[in-house]
Amino acid sequence: MTVAFDPAAVDGTATEAHDGAAGDSGRATADDAARGVPADPDDGFFVVPEPSAPVLGDHPGPPDSDRNVAADRGTDSDQGVDGEQDLHADGAEVTDAADEPDLTADDEVPAVDVDERVAEDAREFGVYARTGGWAFALKVARSVRPGGQSAGETVKISAKQFGKLAGCSPERIMRYYKAWDMAADDGLVPQFEALTPGEDIELPEADVWLSYYTSRSSATSVRGTAITAAAEAEGIRPTKALEVAENPTALRAAILADPSTAEAARHALLDRLQDDPALQTELARDVARTEVLKKAVAGEAKVADRIDYVRRIAEEGELKTPAGQRVDAPAELREEAERHLSLIDELDESEEAGEWAAEAFDTMKGLAAEAVERAVESDPELRVQERRTKFYSSLDKATKVFEELTLDDADDFYEDDMVRRLEDLQQAIGSCISALRKASSTED
């Protein structure tokens, strides 16, 4: 137990309080005892309660009464002044007044004389608790000249002068100015011309402040507007997206260090590629110039082609002969193709499809070749057409080879074996011509 000296005991006010209390000593309440106030202030000493019994009021807390006023008005938005980092202006969550303990009848602060300076602070705090940034926007709106108005027409000053007096940048002043301007266009607050310096008006509630205020000047640019619209479409606060856009180095660091961030960036680039031809071109060039990416793209393209081959059999139900003729695929062949596709489609994104695609392709290619061979052998007309097409294909290839030969410098590379082999080829061609002529005469 600790004995403490009460300075109020020697104060004239305390003496008067004692004199007034002498006639009605029974008015001391349990709250007085809980706060450690002596029954007789003239004693000058009282017992301080033990630490196990905390004393209400020993440690001044936040002005709960003012916070409750804001709560009664339906809001407790504590958006802060737009400092260098615009504290709370970007919509950061603040402690809700509902979470603070309300004053009960037993906790009510007794009416006492308050210094006017303290009372003014309390009143200003209450205004800000109820209105948030509107309280500061009003100061700007009623004191800063609207655009196009000369200095001689009004006592209002420019945003630059106001910012100098306030100790902050003109850009910050203009953010409040523009927020008020947009709200005035919506009829929420008066226009600038209707306000005079020092004039107080009824302000909107704090919860609508963030609908008009942006803590970043970049949000008003064309680029910032696009970022804001995209952020709203994604369901996030525009200030977060603008913060990332203003710091590409931080974005790069996050992508390099965090796989999930890199994955999000990849998906975003793919979505943007559909509507950005310039990005398509640049990305294609980057891939072509990077050896690792070139190999990766070639490998993935091969996998995609193999899967597409199996998918065409399953969906189109057609096979192509060596000569380019098309035949129907058997039902069991299509079922096998669908089975392989289902296995590939069920793979997780983290699983490689390369091995599955290779197995499906090799299996279906072998089965398709057997099916084509059976189809050709079972159809005489198709068999004839197949052989005719193959003959022309071979003839075209041979013709092209001889057309591309150049003998201008034959003296440099001539060998006797060349003549011998051409003579053998000439005999083979002669035999082929004779056989075709014989077949022609037979048909006649």
Q: What is the pLDDT of residues 224-270, one digit of tens each?
A: 778 777 877 888 777 778 778 878 898 899 999 999 999 999 999 99
8-state DSSP, 144: B
d(C-alpha 381, C-alpha 372), whole Å = 14
Higher-confidence residue of 78 and 414: namely 414
Over residues 82-91, the mean pLDDT reads 40
369, 376 Cβ separation under 8 angstroms: no
DSSP codes joined into one string, 153-186: G-S-B-HHHHHHHHTS-HHHHHHHHHHHHHHHHT
- For the chain, percent of residues with pLDDT exceeding 70: 71
Evaluate whether 99 touches 46 at the Cβ level (below 8 Å): no
pLDDT interval class at 215 (50, 70, 90)? low
Torsion from C-alpha of 329, 335, 341, 347, nearest 10 degrees: -170
Return the minimum-mean-pLDDT range out of 52-61, 208-217, 398-407: 52-61
The single residue listed with the structure tokens 């958006």 is: 79
User: Token digits for 335?
Assistant: 């079922």
Q: Which pLDDT belongs to residue 149?
A: 65
Asked if 48 and 6 touch (Cβ cutoff 8 Å), the reply is no
Mean pLDDT of the chain: 75
In the block, tokens 């602070």 appear at: 121
Going by C-alpha positions, the residue among 348, 347, 316, 353 that lies closest to residue 333 is 316
Proportion of the chain above pLDDT 90, given as a percent: 28
Most confidently modeled of 98-112, 114-128, 278-292?
A: 278-292
Among 70-74, 136-140, 203-207, 413-417, the range scoring the smallest mean pLDDT is: 70-74
Helix, coil or strand: residue 48: strand
- Rounded to two decimals, the pTM is 0.41
Residue 5: strand, helix, or coil: strand
What pLDDT, on the 0 to 100 scale, is given for residue 127? 75
Task: Select the highest-mean-pLDDT range: 23-37, 47-61, 193-207.
Answer: 193-207
How many other C-beta atoms are found inside a 10 Å radius of the C-beta of residue 382? 17
Q: Which residues, in sequence order, are CB contacts of 354 under 8 Å at separation 6+?
A: 299, 303
Q: Which helix (H) or strand (E) segment is 229 a member of?
A: helix 222-234
What's the pLDDT at 79?
38
Q: Whose structure tokens read 């913060």? A: 243
In angstroms, the CA 361 to CA 367 distance is: 10
Listed residue (119, 172, 174) closest to 145, CA to CA: 174
Amino acid identity for residue 351 in this structure = E
What average pLDDT score do residues 102-120 get?
65
d(CA 242, CA 226): 10
Single-letter amino acid code for the residue at 103: L
Burial letters 150-174, b for 16+ CB under 10 A, else e: eeeeeebbebebbbeebeebbebbb
Sign of torsion, CA 305 311 315 319? positive
The winner for highest mean pLDDT among 85-99, 126-140, 414-428 is 414-428
